[in-house]
Amino acid sequence: MACYLGLDLGGTNVKAGLLDDTARVLAKISTPTHAEHGPDAVIEAMIEAGKTVAAHAGVPLEQIDAVGIGSPGPMDLDAGVIRDMPNLPGWDHVPLRDRIATGLGRPTVLENDANAAAFGEYWAGAGRDPKIHHLVMLTLGTGIGTGIIIDGVLLHGSNSLGAEGGHMILVPDGRRCGCGQRGCLEAYASASNTATRAIEALEAGHDGTTSALASLRRAQAGRLTAKDIFDAAKTGDTLATEIAEQTANYLGIACASLCRLFDPQMIVFAGGMILAGDYLFEMIREAFARHTWKLVKDHVRIVPAELGNDAGFIGAAAVARDADQRGRLHAPLTSRKRLTR
Ligand SMILES: [Zn+2]
């Protein structure tokens, strides 16, 4: 049976998993990235991780059909090159795909990590129902990563910069975003910014005397997490409820806009914040229902991701499998057949 290696490059850990054609995980490992040692050391760690999982699964490298990499950072997908890595030092136009392909001796594809995670959910997670062909995923973490799959194909755009739904501008001249612009979705509704908005509200004196968040923040050396906000909101805390409702409202509006653009069958949310569960999802669905067309409301499912901590390498393997099945392992990712004109 065909098998695929997925490599998930994160700022803290490199995760590797070997999967068969049915998305069964044959072996997996997680190893520290040691980003501070620079790209050469990180690439070596990725190659070693790949060799280790293959050995654990008892699969010789030459029997791996393809390798997929899920990586953060702006990249040139056709060239397989990382242009920059905001959180990892020394990454400047690094030919990551070819370095991994050489190191492991197997055909390799590079994909943006949010896209890969979405493709993993599409293949083996929340969207695995074979009737699903159009899926959008938003990963709520420090930022908001987005992947968009239409007709079974990931959207990349002309500069590998498509599908950045986290940077849709929702509020003109709004909060400063990590991307340099203002008012992006992620500047409001990512897990980190949900917590930051609560801290800002407390510092502005808003409900600071009565909210449980004020004492919790003092007990945590000035810090709050999105989990703190949702836990407090569930107990009825007024400020926490307000912040949680605002986050859900922004996410619901984003879902409505994404439906107008892409008409997906399913919108999947991933990331730690989804542990807030039905409390969060019901609020997102309500906000979505208020802002979307009646025609759309009932046939879009808004659901949590299912792959958890393995989503990165499963998605990377899914991308490798897709390229293999489409015969695109050795062709530029965006060289899809176009009509002559
Ligand atoms: Zn932005």
- pLDDT at site 210: 83
> pLDDT class for 6, splitting at 50, 70, 90?
very high
pLDDT at residue 297 tops 60: yes
The model's pTM is: 0.94
pLDDT at residue 79 tops 80: yes
Please provide the average confidence, as pLDDT, over all residues in the chain: 93
pLDDT at residue 340 tops 70: no
- pLDDT at site 89: 83
pLDDT at residue 292 tops 90: yes
Q: What is the pLDDT of residues 193-239, one digit of tens each?
A: 999 999 999 999 876 568 999 999 999 999 999 999 999 999 999 99
β-pair type (135-140, 75-76)? unpaired
Q: What is the pLDDT of residues 144-196, one digit of tens each?
A: 999 999 999 999 998 888 899 999 999 999 999 999 999 999 999 999 999 99
Query: pLDDT exceeding 90 applies to what percent of the chain?
Result: 86
> pLDDT class for 86, splitting at 50, 70, 90?
confident
Distance 326 CA to ligand 1 centre (A): 33
- pLDDT at site 25: 97
CB-based contact 263:275 (threshold 8 Å): no
Other Cβ atoms within 10 Å of 239 Cβ, number: 21
Q: What is the pLDDT of residues 7-47, one digit of tens each?
A: 999 989 999 999 999 999 999 999 999 999 999 999 999 99
Other Cβ atoms within 10 Å of 64 Cβ, number: 23
- pLDDT at site 84: 87
Distance 182 CA to ligand 1 centre (A): 7
Distance 148 CA to ligand 1 centre (A): 17
Q: Which residues of 300-323 are buried (b: 16+ CB within 10 A; e: fewer)?
A: bbbbbbebeebbbbbbbbbbbbbb
- pLDDT at site 87: 74
Distance 321 CA to ligand 1 centre (A): 31
**Rounded distance between C-alpha atoms, residue 176 and residue 13, angstroms:** 28
Distance 69 CA to ligand 1 centre (A): 24
Hey, which bits of 168-291 come out as E strands? Answer: 266-270
pLDDT at residue 328 tops 90: no
Distance 83 CA to ligand 1 centre (A): 18
- pLDDT at site 208: 59
Mean pLDDT calculated for residue range 123-129:
97
Distance 191 CA to ligand 1 centre (A): 14
- pLDDT at site 1: 86
Distance 77 CA to ligand 1 centre (A): 21
Distance 175 CA to ligand 1 centre (A): 10
**Rounded distance between C-alpha atoms, residue 202 and residue 215, angstroms:** 10
Other Cβ atoms within 10 Å of 60 Cβ, number: 9
> pLDDT class for 339, splitting at 50, 70, 90?
low
**Which DSSP string corresponds to 12-67?**
SEEEEEEEETT--EEEEEEEE--GGG-HHHHHHHHHHHHHHHHHHHT--GGG--EE
CB-based contact 193:140 (threshold 8 Å): no
Element spanning 227, H or E: helix 226-234
